[in-house]
Each structure stands twice: as C-alpha cells, then as structure tokens.
Amino acid sequence: MSSGGITLDEVLAACERVGKVCDPVTASEVGEELGCTRRAALNKLDELAERGDIESKTVGARSRVWWRPPDRSSAYEQADTDDAPAPSSVTVDESLDEIDKRLEAELDKVFGRISEGFYALDNQWKFTYVSERAKELIDAQDMDLVEESFWEVFDDEADTAFSENYRTAMETQEPTFFEVYDETLDAWYEVHAYPSESGLSVYLRDVTNLVERERELEQSERRYRALVEHFPNGAVALVDEDLHYRTVGGNPLDVADVTVEAIENRPVREALPPKLADELVPRYEAAMEGESNSFEAEYDDRTFEFHIVPVRDDDGNVFAALGMSQDVTKRKESERELERALDLLERTERIADVGGWEIDVDTQDVFWTDHIFELLEVDADEEPPLDEALNMYHEEDQPIVEAAVEDALASGDSFDIEVRIHTDHSGIRWLRLQGVPETVDGDVVSFRGAAQDITEQKERERELQERNDRLDSFASMLAHELRNPVTIGQIYSQQLPDETESDAVEYVTEAFDRIEDMIDVLLVLTQGREAIGERTPIHLADAAREAWDKVEAPEATLNIEFDYTTQADKTYVQHLFRNLFENAVEHGGSDVTITVGGLPTGFFVADDGHGIPAGERDGVFEAGYTTAADQGGTGLGLAYVKELAEVYEWEYTVTESSTGGARVEFTNVDQAAPSN
C-alpha cells in the first residue's frame, strides 16, 4: 500500500489499535498494522503531529515515537479545525505522573536497540529464505542455509523450545510467540512464528539486552503489572499519598454509582458515597503504610469484594495504593448453594450410612467422600490406589469386587453387590457396593458409585432366617405329629356304630378332613417343593369340581368353562381350588357365582363379588393376611396358593373380573397329555 492510499484517519485508527492512549508507538508498528512501508507511515504520522492530533518525540539517537494524549479528539472530529495554526513544538502532557516518566526513560533505551532477523521454512522444515540479520543472530554467516533442513543444521534444537513451539504452530496452524535462551550463543531471543500450509515464517530478534532491562524495569512497571495481573472484573483505581484518585479503570458505577470521569483527581472521601468511603479510606491509609488488605461488603443487595494493595517505587517506597472491586454476588450465591448441597450430602451420607466413590478411568486412582473413610475406618489422608483398596475386602469377596469393577469399566454395565470388608476396629463389616459407569459413544468416561454399611441389616436377615428356619422346623414337626392322630381319628370315625347320629359322624369326619387339609397346607408353606409328591397328569377341571364338593356354599354357583391337563399332585391342586373358592364365598357372599376358565397358557378363577381394592392386591397372598380374623380366618389360604404356584413355577396375578369381582390368573402352566 502506498502512502498516497492511506488516509490520516486510517493512520490514527492504527495508532489506537497498536497502543492505548498515552502509549508510545513506532512508525514500524503502524506500518505493519496498515500493511505499508515504514516511510509511508512516518510521513502520515508527521502530518498528524503537525495538525495536533498526536504528539511525538525523539527516543535515543535515531528513533522517534508518537502517542495520542487522552485530551485529544480523533482526526475525524477535528476535520473542521484543520486550518488552525499548528503548534510550533510538542511536549509530553504534564499530567503524566512520575511512574510514566520512569517507564518512558527505560523505554527510551529499549527502542534504540530494536532489530529483527527473518527466515522461512517450507512444510518439510527446509530453509527457503534467510536474511543476513538472521544469519548473524544464529551465527551462520558463512553458511548457505537455503534447501537445508532446520533439524539437521541445528540438531541440538530438536528437544528445545524451538522444536516444541514450531511443531505446535504447524499442527494447530496458529501463530506462536516465545522467548528462548541459547546457551551456545549466551543470548535471549524473541521469536514470532507464523504458520501456513506451505511452511513457517519466523521473525527472530535478539532481546538479550531487553530481557536484562525488563528485569531492571520490573519495579518501575509494578503499577502496570498490578493493573493487569490483579485486576478482577469490576473497577480499579490508583490513589496517591493524598488519597486522591489519580487513575480509575473498569466500571465503578456498579459499586459506587459514579463514573470514571466523576471521581478522577478527586479525594476519595468526597468522590464516594459516605458508607463506602468510610470502608475504603482507612484501608487506603493502611496501604500507604505498606499493608495489603481485602474485605467484602454489601451494597444494594449485592456483594462486592475489595482488594487494596500498596504500590512501591524502585527503592521499595510506597508512593500509591491500588484499589480493586468486583461484584461477586453470583459467586457468593453459588458458594452458598454449594455449601448447602455439600452439607445436605454429608448429612444424607451419615443418615443413610452411605458414602460416594469414584475411580479415574485413565489413572485408576480412587477418590472417596468423607464418609467412606469413616465406614472403612481409614484416615482421611490415606486414600489408597485401586489395587490397595481391593485388598481391604474380605479374601473371599475380593474376586467378586475385582470382577465387577473390571466388567463395568469394559462393558459400561452397572453393578450392585454385597461384600465384606476388613476394618481396624470393628472387624468384618458388610457393604452394599454399587457402581454406575457413564459412557459416551460406548466408551466409559467416568465411573462413580456408592458404598453403604449394611452390617446391621445382614445381621437382622441372619436372625430372621434362623427364626424362620426354626418356625419351619416346628411347623413341619407339628404337621407330621398331627397327621398320625388325625389318621387314627378318621379310621375310628368310620367305625362308629350305625345308631350314631349321622350329622355328628359327618361333622367329625369333616373336621378330621379339614385338619388333614391344614396339615397339607402347613407342609407346603414350610417345606415348599420338598412337600410336593410325585406329579401325574391331572384334569384341572376335575380337580376344581372335587374341591367344590368340599365347599359348604349351597347358594353359590360354580361354572367350569375349560379343559386343561397339567402335571401336578392332585391333592395339593384341589387344596388350591378349595382355598380360592372359599375365599370367593367369604368375600363375595353366599350366593356368589364363581367361574373357572381357561387361558392360552393356564387358567383363572373369577367371581362376581365385591372384588379386591387395587392397593391391596399385592398383599393378599402374604401369610397372615385376612379380613375375617374374628371369624376364624388364619390368613394362610392364599399364602398356600402363592406357595404352591411358585413351587410349580406358575405365574400368578390378581386383577378385576369382568363383573367387578376378583379374578386370579395363573399362567406359564405346563400342559400335559391327558392320562388314559
């Protein structure tokens, strides 16, 4: 781009992009920004200086810098004043404070020593161009580097910052900048590398002196570093020894409802609302004594965080204080929510006696919540790796845990197991261990779970099992002991004299038969499959009719509408039908109508009575469930039906009949060929 094609406004805009207000820029920097020569940029900068838009001064022996004072408008805004007489000389604005002067003095020395070298590499890492200055910088004046491989010429750079940054730039196609120290040349270099598909363009600059000077400038640049490094999102201000605001940045409107322009160069006490001033003034005074401090305060239902730090000169003397404020309302709300959630989690863990764990799928490291340490009786700083954590389980259960974890990591399937674990003080404890992997595209990306102490539950289950075993043993013994006298009673009842009243004989016979039925029920309930004899083909319809003959319900009606043959013990199946029929009469009324019908894989027993409420249907088969306890109901009838169905592996369910009564369905009933 020629100088004739560049407007003054474009040059002024380039200055503003290259440097902030009051920051010096060079003609080279502006030319690079505009894509023109340094001379073209220099001419336009001189024109801007002549008409008063920017100021300029000589730096060192040969260099010049330009800057835009904060009180100057842009060239476009001054278009109507171009005819005004140009100032005869330009000086630095007297409002620049002492820090600016010290920084400028150091920058004078830096700008006088700027120099760069350039070389280009193709995508095969071969040199395509090397400037003379670049050869000087890399000590290769006598070498023809074009077409040579960078890695062969500089084989000692293969594992240095050059290799890492060059290769990263080519892989990401993003420019990179880095500083590197060359021990061979005892020099520091500043390197800018710009990648493209065809190769890499490298600008090399010897910044050895600059690095040394930057170290010397560190103290004088503290103000600027503090603004950059410590400035949170919010407002920042520099306060002088008289507690006047000298520089203000950010947005003070949020906390003080004031603008930057309204408080600069004013006393802190006068510039701020009284409440905020009372908080800040003592802290600025403390900062002037070298004390840093931070605090939080609430204004208009929002929480702000303040930091006040002293600013020192080259000699370590405090000459200003830097104040920073940040609206942390959302962060505080998040912290409170997090604390509440963590507290809830901790309380829940303790109440449920459960803790959480996580296994890093990449490193296999194990992470536990606090309550896990308590469950395992392990110190909180002794979180073991996975292999050591597995060793804490009982020897017989270690393979179970290891297999569950490995399968979950490989397949992404969850697991839920009960295992034992060794503890130092409580001995062996039982844990319910659950693991839930999270997968993305079929790969496990996280693996978390929970561990719950179920030792007391296992102890209760053991005690309950022992009690049940004792009860089963007693019931079986009682059933067997009763069967012999019942049999004897049945025999003698048949030998009663003919003159004995027939009703009495019938009652005694029926009583003994009923006792025998109860014995069969008890044996099925206590012994299950062991109580069932040999299975033979039986017609379920015949078994239902024979069972109906034993039911005392002269007003009730039985309809049998199916023909189904299965392998079973006829006596026990008759008991099943009899219990269902008697239950229907008991709950449906003396004139109830009962229907036994067929299903594709079984049968059903339905009535037209009052039915069973939906909320009670799951419980009617449990032992002891009865609504006729005052009439002698034992609650064993339907429990027997359930037990027998499970012994034969029939599926059963309670629903509503077509007439609104109860309907019990049996499916998965094996069908057998009828016997001859």
Lowest mean pLDDT among 60-74, 170-184, 244-258, 461-475: 60-74
C-beta atoms surrounding 493 within 10 Å? 19
- The SS3 of residue 387 is helix
The contacts of residue 606 (CB under 8 Å, 6+ apart) are: 594, 595, 597, 657, 658, 659, 661, 662, 663, 664
pLDDT value, residue 71: 61
pLDDT value, residue 444: 87
Dihedral pair phi/psi, residue 16, rounded to 5°: -70, -30
Beta-sheet pairing, 557-561 with 593-599: parallel
Q: Is CATH 1.10.10.10 what the domain over 3-111 is classified as, yes or no?
A: yes
pLDDT value, residue 316: 86
Lowest mean pLDDT among 127-141, 225-239, 279-293, 459-473: 225-239
* Contact (CB, 8 A) for 49 and 57: no
pLDDT value, residue 122: 92
Residue written as tokens 């006729």?
628
- The SS3 of residue 535 is coil
State the DSSP H helix or E strand holding residue 355, giving kind and residue range, or none if neither.
strand 354-359
pLDDT value, residue 312: 87
pLDDT value, residue 103: 42
pLDDT, one tens digit per residue, over 446-456 is 888 888 888 88
CA-wise closest residue to 359 among 288, 446, 297 = 446
Number of residues that this document lists for the chain: 676
- The SS3 of residue 455 is helix
CA-wise closest residue to 386 among 357, 419, 428 = 357
Q: Quick one: CA torsion of 597, 637, 513, 476, rounded to 10 degrees?
A: 130
pLDDT value, residue 629: 40
CA–CA distance, 665 with 671 (Å, rounded to integer):
16
Q: Positive or negative, the Cα torsion across 511, 515, 516, 518?
A: positive
* Contact (CB, 8 A) for 1 and 35: yes
pLDDT value, residue 283: 92
What share of the chain has pLDDT > 70, as a percent? 69
Higher model confidence: residue 302 or residue 564? 564
Largest Cα–Cα distance of the chain, in whole Å? 154
Q: Provide the whole-model pTM.
A: 0.33
* Contact (CB, 8 A) for 357 and 372: yes
pLDDT value, residue 84: 42
CA–CA distance, 304 with 250 (Å, rounded to integer):
14
Confidence of residue 607 (pLDDT cuts 50, 70, 90): very high
Confidence of residue 66 (pLDDT cuts 50, 70, 90): confident
What is the SS3 assignment for 578-644?
Answer: HHHHHHHHHHHCCCCEEEEEEECCEEEEEECCCCCCHHHCCCCCCCCCCCCHHHCCCCCHHHHHHHH
CA-wise closest residue to 64 among 100, 35, 26 = 26
Output the DSSP codes for 478-530.
Answer: HHHHHHHHHHHHHHHHHTS-TTS-HHHHHHHHHHHHHHHHHHHHHHHHHHGGG
**Domain 117-215 belongs to what topology?**
Beta-Lactamase (3.30.450)
Radius of gyration of the chain (CA): 47
pLDDT value, residue 83: 45
Residue written as tokens 């036994």?
596
Lowest mean pLDDT among 97-106, 305-314, 370-379: 97-106
The contacts of residue 367 (CB under 8 Å, 6+ apart) are: 357, 358, 359, 360, 383
Does 335-453 match 218-327 at the fold level? yes
Mean pLDDT of 537-560: 92
Percent helix, percent strand, percent coil in the chain, to nearest 5: 45, 25, 30
pLDDT value, residue 172: 92
Confidence of residue 507 (pLDDT cuts 50, 70, 90): low
Mean pLDDT of 332-346: 71
> Which of 7-21, 435-449, 459-473, 637-651 has the largest mean confidence?
435-449
pLDDT value, residue 636: 60
pLDDT value, residue 113: 40
Which of the 8 DSSP states describes residue 25?
A: B
The domain segmentation of the chain, as residue ranges, is: 3-111, 117-215, 218-327, 335-453, 532-667
Residue 14 has pLDDT above 80, yes or no: yes
CA–CA distance, 540 with 563 (Å, rounded to integer):
7
What is the SS3 assignment for 171-239?
Answer: HHCCCEEEEEEECCCCEEEEEEEEEECCEEEEEEEECHHHHHHHHHHCCCCHHHHHHHHCCCCEEEEEE
Mean pLDDT of 275-285: 88
- The SS3 of residue 252 is coil
pLDDT value, residue 212: 73
pLDDT, one tens digit per residue, over 461-494 is 778 776 666 556 555 555 554 555 556 655 656 6
Residue 278 has pLDDT above 50, yes or no: yes
pLDDT, one tens digit per residue, over 185-219 is 788 888 888 998 889 988 888 888 777 766 654 55
Residue 221 has pLDDT above 60, yes or no: no
For 367-376, the CB contacts below 8 A with 24+ separation are: 369/345, 370/346, 371/346, 372/451, 375/429, 375/431, 375/451, 375/453, 376/421, 376/423
pLDDT, one tens digit per residue, over 368-410 is 777 777 777 776 666 666 667 777 888 898 899 889 888 988 8
Beta bridge partners of 297: 304
Report the CATH architecture of 218-327.
Answer: 2-Layer Sandwich (3.30)
* Contact (CB, 8 A) for 146 and 130: yes
Mean pLDDT of 643-667: 90
Q: Quick one: CA torsion of 147, 153, 155, 157, rounded to 10 degrees?
A: -90
pLDDT value, residue 75: 40
pLDDT, one tens digit per residue, over 110-143 is 333 445 788 889 999 999 888 888 888 888 888 8
Residue 51 has pLDDT above 50, yes or no: yes
pLDDT value, residue 467: 65
Mean pLDDT of 50-63: 68
- The superfamily CATH assigns to domain 335-453 is PAS domain (3.30.450.20)
CA–CA distance, 67 with 70 (Å, rounded to integer):
9
Lowest mean pLDDT among 240-254, 308-322, 547-561: 240-254
The contacts of residue 524 (CB under 8 Å, 6+ apart) are: 531, 532, 572, 575, 640, 643, 644, 647
Lowest mean pLDDT among 48-62, 149-163, 195-209, 529-543: 48-62
CA–CA distance, 224 with 238 (Å, rounded to integer):
11
Residue written as tokens 């110190």?
379
Higher model confidence: residue 165 or residue 327? 165
Confidence of residue 602 (pLDDT cuts 50, 70, 90): very high
What is the chain's mean pLDDT, rounded? 76
pLDDT value, residue 110: 33
> Which of 105-109, 377-381, 649-653 has the largest mean confidence?
649-653
CA–CA distance, 650 with 673 (Å, rounded to integer):
18
Output the DSSP codes for 101-143.
Answer: HHHHHHHHHHHTT---EEEEEETTSBEEEE-HHHHHHTT-TT-
For 218-227, the CB contacts below 8 A with 24+ separation are: 219/312, 219/313, 219/314, 219/316, 220/99, 220/102, 220/103, 220/106, 220/313, 220/314, 221/103, 222/311, 222/312, 223/99, 223/311, 223/320, 223/322, 224/103, 226/309, 226/311, 226/322, 227/322
**Considering the domain 532-667 in this protein, what is its CATH number?**
3.30.565.10
Q: Give the distance from CA 102 to its chain's centroid.
A: 51
Mean pLDDT of 167-181: 89
Output the DSSP codes for 424-439.
Answer: TTTEEEEEEEEEEEEE
